[in-house]
Amino acid sequence: MNTLQAVPADGTLSANDLGRLSIRTAQPLFIDAYWANHATGGFILIDEASNATVAAGTFIVEAKDA
């Protein structure tokens, strides 16, 4: 955490762990980079079965592939 050095995960993250992931959606999402707009630059993931928040994060917007 102190160095922010990337290390491979074993497939799971525990509470307060940091991770980087890619998400593919069925339909386009309208988002902003977190640095540009905090209101539309963050997200939470909710478990459908329990309605519990299971993750939170911010968007890093990268250029689209040509």
Instruction: Give the Cα separation of 17 and 6 in Å (integer).
Output: 12
Q: What is the pLDDT of residues 55-64, one digit of tens each?
A: 898 888 776 6
Q: What is the pLDDT of residues 9-54, one digit of tens each?
A: 777 888 888 888 777 889 988 888 888 898 889 999 899 999 999 8
Cβ-Cβ contacts under 8 Å for 59 (sequence gap 6 or more): 31, 32, 33, 34, 41, 42, 43
Q: Give pTM, 2 decimals.
A: 0.61
Q: What's residue 66's pLDDT?
A: 42
Judge whether residue 2 has pLDDT over 80: no
